[in-house]
Amino acid sequence: DQQVKQNSPSLSVQEGRISILNCDYTNSMFDYFLWYKKYPAEGPTFLISISSIKDKNEDGRFTVFLNKSAKHLSLHIVPSQPGDSAVYFCAASAYRSGAGSYQLTFGKGTKLSVIP
Partner 1 sequence: DVKVTQSSRYLVKRTGEKVFLECVQDMDHENMFWYRQDPGLGLRLIYFSYDVKMKEKGDIPEGYSVSREKKERFSLILESASTNQTSMYLCASSNAGLAGGAYEQYFGPGTRLTVT
Write phi, then psi, for 82 (nearest 5 degrees): -55, -35
97 binds partner 1, rule: CB under 8 A: no
**Burial of residue 22 (number of CB atoms within 10 Å: 0-12, 13-18, 19+):** middle
x-or-dash string of contact with partner 1, 40-79, rule CB under 8 A: -xxxxxx--x------------------------------
Q: What share of the chain is helix, strand, coil (3-state, %, to 5)?
A: 5, 60, 40
Nearer to partner 1, 83 or 98 (CB): 98
CB of 114 to partner 1, least distance (A): 21
Residues that bind partner 1 (CB under 8 A): 6, 9, 32, 34, 36, 41-46, 49, 89, 93, 95-96, 98-109
